[in-house]
C-alpha cells in the first residue's frame, strides 16, 4: 500500500511509523487508520523489521479521532461498526505484534491517540507530552483498548480518575504513575527512543516474542497455569540456535549475534 497520511521508514532493524497530519496534531481519519493497519501488518511480515517505533509528525503524537472527518452529522455514524472496522483490528495487531513496539510520544496523546500509545509495549515521552482520556468530554467512554490497558498500567483508581474527568496529565505525572517508561527533553527524545530500539533489535527475536506473550498471559492466569506457560516458552527458547550460540559466546567471552533462528 502506498501511504499518504503516514511515513514508513526502516533502518538498523527498526521500522518507524510516523503519523503525518501535523496540522491536526495527527488526528485519526478512516484513511489513516487503514494505513496504520497495513503498516503494522507490514512490520509483522518483514523479517528485517525487529522493532516498531510509532510516533507523530510535528507538535503532537496523536490527538485522537478527527470528528470533522465524520461530516456534518457525526452523531449519526454507527460508532460500533466504525470501531469494529477501523480501530479494533489496529489495536489487536499493534498489541499482538510479535516484535517489541515503542511509542515515541512527542506531544499530546489524547483519546484514541492515547489508546495507540497504550497498545505499544513501551512509551518514551518528551517533557512536553500530555495525556488525556478525552472521551468523557464529549459524553463517550474510553475505547480502542483504553479500558483494557490503562488499569493494568496505572491501577483502577487512577484509570478511573483519567477516564471520568478527562483531565490532561503531564509527562512527569505519567511517569510517576507508571504510564510511561522514560521522560526526556524533546531534543533528546529521538536519541533515547532509538537507543532503546536498536538495543531491542540486537536482541534475540524469538525470545523477545516469547517474553512478550508470557508476560501478558501471566498477568491473566493463575500461578500454576502461568508456570506451565513459562515452561513451554522456555522449552521453545532453549531449542533455538540463538540460545545455543549465545551460550557458546558466553563461555568464549564475546557478544552473541542473534539471528532469529
Q: List residues with catalytic annotation.
A: 88, 143
Instruction: Read off the C-alpha cell for 138.
Output: 464529549
CB atoms within 10 A of CB 238: 11
Q: String of b and e for 114-130 (b: at least 16 CB within 10 Å)?
A: bbbbbbbbbbbbbebbb
Instruction: Read off the C-alpha cell for 114.
Output: 492515547
Instruction: Yes or no: say if 13 and 52 are a contact pair by the CB < 8 Å rule.
Output: no
Give the residue carrying C-alpha cell 479521532.
65
Q: Which residues are bridge partners to 208 per DSSP?
A: none
What are the strands of the beta sheet with 108-110, ordered from one edge?
108-110, 130-132, 169-170
Amino acid at each position: 500500500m502506498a501511504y499518504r497520511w503516514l511515513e514508513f521508514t526502516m533502518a538498523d532493524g527498526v521500522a518507524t511509523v510516523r503519523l503525518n497530519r501535523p496540522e491536526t496534531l495527527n488526528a485519526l481519519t478512516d484513511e489513516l487508520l487503514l494505513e496504520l493497519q497495513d503498516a503494522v501488518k507490514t512490520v509483522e511480515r518483514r523479517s528485517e523489521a525487529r522493532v516498531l517505533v510509532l510516533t507523530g509528525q510535528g507538535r503532537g503524537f496523536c490527538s485522537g479521532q478527527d470528528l470533522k472527518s465524520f461530516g456534518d452529522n457525526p452523531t449519526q455514524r454507527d460508532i460500533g461498526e466504525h470501531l469494529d472496522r477501523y480501530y479494533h483490528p489496529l489495536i489487536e495487531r499493534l498489541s499482538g505484534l510479535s516484535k517489541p513496539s515503542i511509542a515515541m510520544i512527542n506531544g499530546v496523546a489524547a483519546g484514541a491517540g492515547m489508546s495507540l500509545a497504550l497498545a505499544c509495549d513501551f512509551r518514551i515521552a518528551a517533557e512536553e507530552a500530555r495525556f488525556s482520556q478525552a472521551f468523557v468530554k464529549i459524553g463517550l467512554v474510553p475505547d480502542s483498548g483504553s479500558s483494557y490497558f490503562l488499569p493494568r498500567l496505572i491501577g483502577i483508581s487512577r484509570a478511573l480518575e483519567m477516564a471520568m474527568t478527562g483531565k490532561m496529565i503531564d509527562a512527569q505525572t505519567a511517569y510517576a504513575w507508571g504510564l510511561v517508561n522514560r521522560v526526556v527533553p524533546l531534543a533528546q527524545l529521538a536519541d533515547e527512543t532509538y537507543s532503546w530500539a536498536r538495543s531491542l533489535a540486537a536482541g534475540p527475536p524469538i525470545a523477545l516474542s516469547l517474553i512478550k506473550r508470557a508476560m501478558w498471559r501471566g498477568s491473566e492466569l493463575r500461578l500454576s497455569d502461568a508456570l506451565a506457560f513459562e515452561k513451554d516458552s522456555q522449552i521453545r527458547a532453549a531449542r533455538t540456535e540463538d540460545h545455543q550460540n549465545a551460550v557458546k559466546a558466553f563461555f568464549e567471552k564475546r557478544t552473541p549475534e542473534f539471528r532469529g533462528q
